[in-house]
Homo-oligomer: A and B are copies of this chain.
């Protein structure tokens, strides 16, 4: 990773290879954009057939361009791209945006061209954005780079955007523009053959004027690197991401519970692990970014509400409460102060309804009192602009209060922004985030509270258990792999779990009926007997499982029947039969580039009907393991319900951490299901398990 992308984002001169006189062409639109956006450096159209494009002198080759060039666009057809990259190298160009499509995504021929231009770029130390991409924008007035063929010209601002999909990037850029919100930098890197999303995030992270980063990615080349980099960024400034492809069906056929359940959730988990705020709605994301880039991070989730209209505050409270925010009452002292300063018809409580006829003085007092109340971490305003009120001075009071205080102020500003242009400008210049709807304002405030939670969360510790026997596991896995088996036998599975000190019911493997009887005696009745053969996958379908066997006579009968039905070659897996406890499920699934996704849930109907499970990316820390447990909907059952004792959460946390470590130590384990574990009294014990390589 190399996040020095100055040549890309702060070019001093730009060349356009494939510049065109045709107005409806990318090679013309980019020139138009650079000129319109008042790019501070020279723009060099490159086109061997014409002398001039949009009033600029055109050059037959990039080699003919006078003076230094930092950044080139290439918009010519794929076959000619590698040679032009070579020319750029010779010219000393440091960054290239290849807008042209038709490379790797079109098959082997395109792939070869892509490999070719990448090799040449590497030779010269050139960084490539794209191919099949839009490019970048930098609104810094000292730069004014619009190296992009889109159509939204952002004002300078504090939000930087990176989008794999140019379409989504354009929508987000336009949304900020429509809201009157400036932007700092923009990048859409399309195929991402060289400059990665991760590098761009890192670059934005170091840019002092970027206060919030917006991200759209459908996949990541190196999720672990991304997590490591993004984590550092999110500790300093918020990163907001759209999670797309949530409903995509997991293509892979699955042979375990976790396989089916963890299908398409890995982007969510990657973002969570990196401390990124996720949104399923682009609009919610944009509105949250406005709040996060202008307001201080709140200390908590408590909200004081000032309103000059009834209904919208009802809607606001609905949404705030739905988001889990608190709306504590006014202090007695504050209420007394407000009784003296508010209109008679005002409602002195939280929400504080100053009523529609309230003027600047009433707002001033309301804001001052609410800002001082220590039990509020945030101020939320519903402000409609009555035609009979001096709204401009109300706006000035709002701005003054926000500047004087250290709590976020979020405003549901209800008006015709053109008719109330003066008021709107005062709020905008005062950096008060304004939202048309009570709900959206509430959700923007919620994003602030979430970011505070992310920043103040303790990361927890990853434990390296030293009491495990890695060699035993390695030998079991190597043996299975040497036999090209993907599904481990029960003895192998329990051997691995025991080696990692995951509590399992006592077990033995017997080779004949006599041995079964002896071993059942050693373990103690009642027992379970399973036919243990690599060839039998669905044991219960073929009469290969017998449970709750009470004595030696029963054992003999069961074992002889199995032998008769399933063949002499079978072995017998004998295990203690445990009384039914609270069922749990813990699983791990390998995800390419990520490691393992660890799953927790209550077993039975909770996992199979209600899909009530939680996930985290390994390695799972103690706090993450505890959060996994507490975040299932049925968590009250885990804590104990109606006098029934809860499960031993510390033990569950330990098992999760041991499974997480097992996955990290042995990436070859593709899927692991402990299903069920029984939690009885203080103990938790694996009752059934499978491992797939």
A positions within 8 Å CB-CB of B: 24-26, 28-29, 32, 101-102, 106, 149-152, 163-171, 174-175, 177-178, 216, 218, 242, 244-247, 280-283, 309-312, 314-315, 317-319, 321-322, 345, 382, 384-390, 414-416, 419-420, 436-440, 605, 608-610, 633-634, 636-637, 641-642
Contacts and interface: CB of A to CB of B under 8 A. Distances in A.
A151 B415 contact: yes
Nearest to A419: B151
Contacts of A174: 414-416, 436
B171 A414 contact: yes
Contacts of A151: 385, 387, 415-416, 419-420
Contact of A26 (B150, B382, B388): B388
A284 to B, nearest CB: 9
Nearest to A436: B175
Contact of A439 (B32, B102, B281, B609): B281
Contacts of A106: 345
A163 B311 contact: yes
Given A247-B317, A318-B245, A436-B178, A387 B150 contact: yes
Nearest to A307: B167
6 contacts: A165-B309, A166-B309, A216-B311, A247-B318, A283-B437, A605-B641
A439 B282 contact: yes
A235 to B, nearest CB: 28
Contact of A310 (B165, B177, B309): B165
Nearest to A321: B247
A345 B105 CA distance: 10
Contact of A314 (B28, B165, B319, B439): B165
A24 B438 CA distance: 26
Contacts of A102: 345
A24 B389 contact: yes
Contact of A24 (B32, B388, B419, B420): B388
A150 B419 CA distance: 12
Given A281-B437, A416-B174, A605-B634, A312 B167 contact: yes
Given A178-B436, A416-B152, A439-B281, A168 B315 contact: yes
Contacts of A386: 149
Nearest to A216: B311
Contacts of A385: 151
Given A175-B436, A388-B24, A167 B414 contact: yes
A167 B609 contact: no
Given A151-B387, A247-B322, A436 B283 contact: yes
A344 to B, nearest CB: 9
Contacts of A280: 318-319, 439
A244 B311 contact: yes
